[in-house]
Structures are given as structure tokens and as C-alpha cells.
Amino acid sequence: NTYSLDFFNVSDSFSVSYSEAVDIALDNLDMQEYYQDGVFKGECYLKILSEKDSDLEDLFWIFSVVGENGNVKNIVINVENGEVLS
């Protein structure tokens, strides 16, 4: 069996780039609990939230922070205007 995959960058058409989304998220999240002695103790993820993930018609960036203690914070950002939804 031979498989063919076509890759394309969905976010190329977004008005808010991935780097702008990260900046917006960091400006809107309190990250203090994830630092210990000046060292970040966690992981960050940026993903596209699509209609496949929910009943939404539009696309959104979702930025997640997961601390070593298991605490999770998420922020949802509109890809067209940068509006923070949660």
C-alpha cells in the first residue's frame, strides 16, 4: 500500500500569526504560579481549535500552559482579530 499525504499551513491565512497568538496569551495569563526560583516549571502548547474540536464555525488559537503540578490554564484567541475569548 502506498499512501500520499498533502501538507499545508492552515495558519498562513490567519490575521493573527502563531507568534502574535503567543504574545497575546502571555499578556493575558498570570504565569506566576509556573515559576519557581525564577525558573519556568511547565510546558506550553499552541494549537488550532477547529470545528473538528467543537461546534465552532470559526478557527481559534488555543494556548495551554501545563504546570509540573498538573495545573492547566487555557486561553482561546480569535485568529482574525486577536480577541481573547477565555
Query: Virtual CA dihedral for 41, 20, 51, 31, nearest 10 degrees?
Result: 30
Q: State residue 52's pLDDT score.
A: 67
Q: State residue 55's pLDDT score.
A: 59
Q: What is the mean pLDDT of each run of 10 residues along the chain (86 residues)?
A: 87 94 94 89 92 70 94 94 92
Q: State residue 76's pLDDT score.
A: 95
Cβ-Cβ contacts under 8 Å for 75 (sequence gap 6 or more): 24, 25, 28, 29, 62, 63, 84, 86
